[in-house]
Amino acid sequence: MFGLNRPTDRSRRTHGARAVVTGAGSGIGRAFACEIAARGGRVVCADRDEQRADDTVALIERTYPGVAYAFRCDVTRHEDVAALARFADTLFDRPVDLVINNAGVGIGGKPVGRIGFDDWQWALDTNLWGVVHGCEIFAPRLRKAGRGGIINVSSAAGFAAAPTMAAYNVSKAGVLSLSETMSAELNGTGVAVTVLCPTFVQTNVARDGRITAESAQVADFLMRRSSHSPARIARTALDAHDRGQLYVVPQLDARAIWLLKRSFPAGYTFVLGLLKRLLPQNDSNTVDRPAVTDPTGV
């Protein structure tokens, strides 16, 4: 979807892959890991929460024994991601050929000026720097091998710019821009880049994030109404990566936003203003939970 700017490559690069997935402890990351195993691959399930990573491995092992491995990794730490790469290098019988930079956190509900620098740093450290670390460390390995690919999990928030979500929007816009840049840089090397931009998916990112209580209720409602499960999103993204697509915008609402913003920018600005009036205005009650590298879903 939205991959017309890349030449079509009908390879099966995600089948039998040697893969690394960050934020693999739940949600979209867990779905990616399970689907890679189902495609005959082997996968390192990395997560800041070691128990969650172990749980994903146990889930995979019930059907595909010996193909999944847990690794504790805090993607905000460059040295952790470097250790993840070394672990994968020694584990697999060939170089890693698929990297999925998925780890992310949710944040929202406050306008700029009330977010606070701590929350800005918290969001950017995981959502943007986590992906930067993954790309900086793994891209040279893939380029040297002359094959494989990178899937970066962004969000429709990366281009939608919804009110009261500035820190999240900025972090995901950075991932989108990074992916576009790398797609151009790696053109002709045999390494494909895909960026996934979903809207609401049935994950626990809102529950585990730093989101005001009112906004969390809205997010939970929209996630429950979503017809797109993490498994469906993961399959869609992997299939698109096989076809050499850069952009994956899997849901109808995300595609409508994408087209509206580019075709009718003035109309889109009007819609954003209307949305601001519909959103909860009380930002005094923030649900501030421990940071986890849970897959993004908005």
Residues marked active site are found at 168
Widest CA span in the chain: 56
Backbone phi, psi, residue 3, to 5°: -115, 25
Query: Is 196 in a helix, a strand, or coil?
Result: strand
Question: Please, are residues 209 and 166 in contact by the beta-carbon 8 Å criterion?
Answer: no
Helix or strand run (H / E) with residue 193: strand 192-196
- Partners of 107 in the beta sheet? 210
Of 192, 18, 175, nearest to 96 (Cα)?
A: 18
Q: Write out the two tokens for 67.
A: 């193909």
Instruction: Determine how β-strand 192-196 pairs with β-strand 149-153.
Output: parallel
Residue 161, SS3 per DSSP: coil
Nearest to 228 by CA among 200, 249, 254, 247: 200
Cα–Cα dist 255/148, whole Å: 27
Is 169 strand, coil or helix?
helix
Which residues partner with 19 through β-bridges?
Answer: 43, 98
Cβ neighbours of 96 (radius 10 Å)? 22
Report d(CA 133, CA 76) in Å as an integer. Answer: 8
Q: Which residue has the tokens 């146990």?
A: 58
- Strand pairing report for 98-101 and 18-22: parallel
